[in-house]
Amino acid sequence: MDNYIRIFDTTLRDGEQSPGATMTSAEKLEVARTLARLGVDIIEAGFPAASPDDLEAVRRIALEVGNPSDGSRPPVICGLARASRGDIEKAWEGVNLAAHPRIHTFLATSEIHMKYKLKMTPQQVLERTREMVAYARSFCADVEFSPEDAGRSEPEFLYQVLAEAIQAGATTLNIPDTVGYTMPAEFGALISGIIQNVPGIDSCIVSVHCHNDLGLATANALAGIQAGARQAEVTINGIGERAGNTALEEVVMALYTRQPVYHCTTGIDTTQIAHASKLVSNYTGMSVQPNKAIVGANAFAHEAGIHQDGMLKNQQTYEIMLPEMVGVKQTRLVMGKHSGRHALKQRMADLGYMLDEAELDKLFQRFKALADRKKGITDSDLEALVSDELYQPKEFFTLDGLQVACGTIGMPTATVRLRGPDQKLYVQAALGSGPVDAVYKAIDAIVQSPNNLLEFVVHAVTEGIDAIGEVTVRIEGEDGKRTMSAQSGIEQPRSFGGYGADTDIIVASAKAYLAALNKMLVATGRAEATPLASVEMSTR
């Protein structure tokens, strides 16, 4: 057995399935690029059968990230499929343009899932596994199979199903603890049992996929690796349904920091971790708590850059990793009023953003406006501007003007001017319970797309009171548009996240809300024929 742990990132599939983490195609592509730079071995790019949009996003990733133009090693691009012909065909349609495509299909094997969800007998599950793995294999040489809810499956039956999958051509067998129920010793024993008892397992890679419902996703993944698994399914920041998945950064840094325990390596460039974490947090609107391991704001006892060589030994009294190792940089004022376009381009390239000329133009304009208002501009400020300016959903309504008055008198009032999809300007004024409420009510009066605000968060990008504020919102349409979780098959109301950044948090709030509304309009197909009930350029 080799000692290389394949990192299978499912931020774009299992991660994106978490409530409100919906990303636009442009955001997904940028996340995939970031994952490739991070050195991820396999990118699960989505669940192509979910919708034409999901299929298209996977295709773009397969084409662009799956075939790097710079001659670097391309990651495997993987698409998820339930064990059905239709799903498998869609998955293949999504990934086939990648240099290294993979189809990942799954079927539940626990008694409770077979009985209540699948309504299939164990014998039927065995047969379906054989057929569908073979069908996937007829398209693609790289096929992964997951026995869903393996953590609660009868071991003997599980071995039979896995042996069937291997015979039918599966090359990776992924063992999910779907409900986050197992304890590390149990999960390690499950993996050992599989390796010892499944005929033909030597020719396959065994993979682990753990959930964090009891806070044990990382411990379980590591227990599986110690028992012989050689692929770990993970997400950036541990996002995912419910309490999320194993966090990429935790498993990678545990293997790295405790190399003498595991004797395993990964292909991850750990110095890219902080950037990937920030990007995913921005695009999904899933915040990272300050005490999150590795990527939380407080995770390191000392700031980056303060480690003189002579102090190193002493620092280790309270620190087992250096912040630099995971790419946490010193917050420096890197640019200012007098920095030019070339300097900005260079800095963005250093940060890992490949911008074309048009994108750079837009960004430079925002940069100059910011430099007029804020003393020094940091890398974090630049990243907020990129997110706000370049990776927004296709825009139907854009903010053209905003004016707000509020305070302790208790009559917060907002006037909003939007440019509509017809390029005309619309204006409305509204009174609210606060300035954000007033702004949102004015926008609602123009856009007329009833929704419920589920979440609203603002935080400052950098230190200092003149910092940029980032706003993330999450809304749910009132028309009851629903989405289906790939694995649970559960339909949930679909929610949409939006992001905005500005030194004025009320302006950022307006942008974030518009971004979420625009995403919702695309998804519900309302974008083409938006009835604009609002008065054109006049207040009512």
Least Cβ distance, residue 338 to a second copy (angstroms): 18
**CB closer to a second copy, 340 vs 489:** 489
Cα separation of 90 and 55, whole Å? Answer: 7
Q: Please check whether residue 163 is in contact with residue 170, taking contact to mean a CB–CB distance below 8 angstroms.
A: no
Give which of 436, 395, 385, 381 is closest to 413, Cα–Cα: 436
**Residues of this chain, 52-71, that bind a second copy according to CB under 8 A:** none
Q: Please check whether residue 134 is in contact with residue 127, taking contact to mean a CB–CB distance below 8 angstroms.
A: no
**CB closer to a second copy, 32 vs 501:** 501
Least Cβ distance, residue 37 to a second copy (angstroms): 23
Q: Does 203 bind a second copy (CB under 8 A)?
A: no
Contact window for a second copy (CB under 8 A) among 34-42, 63-71, 155-163, 212-220 = 212-220
Query: Which amino acid appears at position 503 of this protein?
Result: T
**CB closer to a second copy, 19 vs 46:** 19
Alpha helices in 237-329 (DSSP H): 248-257, 259-262, 273-284, 312-315
**CB closer to a second copy, 259 vs 346:** 259
Q: Does 395 bind a second copy (CB under 8 A)?
A: no
**Residues of this chain, 88-127, that bind a second copy according to CB under 8 A:** 112-113, 116-117
Cα–chain center distance at 128 = 31
Contact window for a second copy (CB under 8 A) among 29-37, 66-74, 354-362, 466-474 = 466-474
Cα separation of 462 and 451, whole Å? Answer: 31
Going from the C-alpha of 517 to that of each of 287, 314, 402, 436, 512, the distances in angstroms are: 20, 52, 17, 15, 9
Q: Does 505 bind a second copy (CB under 8 A)?
A: yes
**CB closer to a second copy, 19 vs 66:** 19
**CB closer to a second copy, 99 vs 297:** 297
Q: Does 4 bind a second copy (CB under 8 A)?
A: no
Cα separation of 104 and 82, whole Å? Answer: 8
Least Cβ distance, residue 273 to a second copy (angstroms): 13
DSSP 536: B
Q: What residues form DSSP beta bridges with 245?
A: 211
Query: Which amino acid appears at position 41 of this protein?
Result: D
Q: Does 403 bind a second copy (CB under 8 A)?
A: yes
User: Interface mask (CB under 8 A) for a second copy, residues 308-337, using x and -?
Assistant: -----xx-xxxxxx----------------
**CB closer to a second copy, 440 vs 499:** 440
Backbone angles phi, psi at 163, to 5 degrees: -60, -40
Work out which of 506, 512, 517, 520 binds a second copy, going by CB under 8 A: 506
Q: Does 480 bind a second copy (CB under 8 A)?
A: no
Burial 359-392 (b: 16+ CB within 10 A, else e): bbeebbebbeebbeebebbbbbbbbbbbbbebbb
**Residues of this chain, 347-376, that bind a second copy according to CB under 8 A:** 373-374
Q: Please check whether residue 88 is in contact with residue 96, taking contact to mean a CB–CB distance below 8 angstroms.
A: no
Least Cβ distance, residue 62 to a second copy (angstroms): 27
**CB closer to a second copy, 90 vs 211:** 211
Q: Does 179 bind a second copy (CB under 8 A)?
A: yes
Query: Helices 52-64 and 85-95: crossing angle, nearest 10°?
Result: 40
**CB closer to a second copy, 66 vs 285:** 285
Contact window for a second copy (CB under 8 A) among 137-145, 343-351, 432-440, 532-540 = 432-440
Contact window for a second copy (CB under 8 A) among 12-20, 23-31, 61-69, 198-206 = 12-20
Least Cβ distance, residue 274 to a second copy (angstroms): 14
Query: What region, left, alpha or beta, does residue 263 occupy, with left being phi > 0 and alpha being psi -120 to 50 degrees?
Result: left
Contact window for a second copy (CB under 8 A) among 268-276, 292-300, 360-368, 385-393 = 292-300
Radius of gyration of the chain (CA): 24
**Residues of this chain, 232-251, that bind a second copy according to CB under 8 A:** 237-244, 247, 250
**CB closer to a second copy, 8 vs 187:** 187
Cα separation of 456 and 435, whole Å? Answer: 13
Contact window for a second copy (CB under 8 A) among 55-63, 73-81, 197-205, 285-293 = 285-293
Least Cβ distance, residue 528 to a second copy (angstroms): 26
Burial 59-94 (b: 16+ CB within 10 A, else e): bbbbebbbeeeeeeebbbbbbbbbbbeebbbbbbbb
Cα separation of 209 and 217, whole Å? Answer: 8
Work out which of 71, 123, 203, 290 binds a second copy, going by CB under 8 A: 290
Work out which of 306, 405, 533, 537 binds a second copy, going by CB under 8 A: 405
Name the residue with tokens 């300097």. 343
Site size toward a second copy, by CB under 8 A = 111
Q: Please check whether residue 108 is in contact with residue 117, taking contact to mean a CB–CB distance below 8 angstroms.
A: yes
Q: Does 537 bind a second copy (CB under 8 A)?
A: no
Q: Does 406 bind a second copy (CB under 8 A)?
A: yes
Least Cβ distance, residue 116 to a second copy (angstroms): 5
Q: Does 399 bind a second copy (CB under 8 A)?
A: yes
SS (H, E, C) 37-83: HHCCCEEEEECHHHCHHHHHHHHHHHHHCCCCCCCCCCCEEEEEEEC
